[in-house]
Amino acid sequence: MSTRNGRLTFGVLGTAGIARKAVVPAIAASDHVVGAVASRDGKRAERFAAERSIPRRYGSYEALLADDEIDAVYIPLPNGLHAEWTRRAGDAGLDVLCEKPLAVDAAEASAVVEHCEDRGVTLMEGFMYRYHPRTERVLELVERELDDVRTVTSTFRFPLYDRPSDVRLNPDLAGGSLMDVGCYPVSLVRTMLGTPDRAYAHTNDTRDAGVDTELAGVLEYEDGRSARIAAGFDTQLVQRYRIDATNGWITVERAFDAPDAEPVELTYDIDGRRGVETFDPVDQYRLQVEHFADRVADGVDPLTDGAEAIANMRIIDALYESAAGDEAVHVG
C-alpha cells in the first residue's frame, strides 16, 4: 500500500498491555505515527488515546478499518481473534503487523496468509526478538563459527498471577503457555535448526483453566539433532537459550523480551575461545516497526512473514497433538 512521504499511519486494534507498554511507544519513537485506536469499549479507547496522545479513537474495530487516513494496522488482540481481524484488515486494503501467534493453528494461518496475498497487503508476525542486534549476531556466529550445531535448549516462563479473566487462561481465545510464550522458543529453534521431523510434548493445567499452564517439549531431526523447549505460567521469570555445537556453544539470557534501557549480553565458547559480547540498549519493538514499514515501502516480504508464521504453527500443532496423545508425532 502507498504511504504518505514514506511515513506509515497505524491504527491499533485493541488496547492490550503490549500495545500500551511497548509497540505504541515504539511507533511514536520512529518516523511513523499512530493515527487511531479502537476498542469494543469506547471509554477504554478514549482513555488509551488520551494516555498516548492518539488523535482518533473508535468504539469498534470496524470503524477504525474504515478510517481513510490509516495505512496499516497493529493487532494486539487475544490470540483467537488474530486471524479474523487480520483478514478484515486485508479486506480494507491495510497492511498488517499482527502479534504472535498469527492464528490458532497452521490451517488457519495458511488461510490468513493466502487471504492477505490475494488482497495484496503486507503481513508480518510480531516476533520482535528477531530484530534485535544480538539475535543477528547469534545467527552470524552460528553460520560462520559454529561447526555442526547438534542441539538447542530454550525456555520462556513467567509467573502469571491468579486472574481468572486473563485471556491467556481462556481456551476459547487460544490461551495457554505454549501459545503465549512457548512460541518464542519454537521460533528460536526453527531459526537455528530448521523445521524438525518429530515432536513430543507434555503439558500440565495447574489452574484447571482448560489450557496448558506448563509445557515441556522435545523436537527431533532425522539426522540426530534435537531441541528442548519449555514454557509456563507457574514459576519465576526465565527466558534463555543455549546452542551447542561440536566445537562450542552460545548462551543468551533475557533472550526474548530484552530490556530496552540497559545493555544485554551473549556468552560463547568456540574452539576454546571464551567470550562475552555486550550490546547497547536498543528498542527491539522500534526496530520491528521500522522493518515492517521498510518492507511495506519496498513491497518485499518481512523477515517474520506469513510463511514463517505457518511453519511455526505446524510445530505448535504437533506439540499439542503429542501432548494430547502422549506420543511423538510427525511435524506438518
Q: Residues 150-184: pLDDT tens digits?
A: 999 999 999 998 776 899 999 999 999 999 999 99
Say how far apart CA 200 and CA 178 lie, in whole Å: 13
- CATH class of the domain whose range is 9-129: alpha beta
Say how far apart CA 86 and CA 191 lie, in whole Å: 24
CB atoms near residue 110 (< 10 Å): 18
* 124 CA to centre of own chain: 10
pLDDT at 243: 99
pLDDT tens by residue, 11-61:
999 999 999 999 999 999 999 999 999 999 999 999 999 999 999 999 999
Q: Which of 112, 54, 49, 124 is nearest to 84 (CA)?
A: 112
Q: What is the chain's mean pLDDT, rounded?
A: 97
Say yes or no: do domains 9-129 and 130-285+314-330 share a fold: no
All three cell numbers of 15, joined, read: 488496547
pLDDT tens by residue, 292-322:
999 999 999 999 999 999 999 999 999 999 9
Q: In this model, does residue 2 exceed pLDDT 50?
A: no
pLDDT tens by residue, 227-246:
999 999 999 999 999 999 99
Q: In this model, does residue 3 exceed pLDDT 70?
A: no
Say how far apart CA 148 and CA 197 lie, in whole Å: 18
- Domain map of the chain by residue range? 9-129, 130-285+314-330
Per CATH, domain 130-285+314-330 is 3.40.50.150: no
Half-sphere exposure of 23 (CA within 13 A, CB side): 26
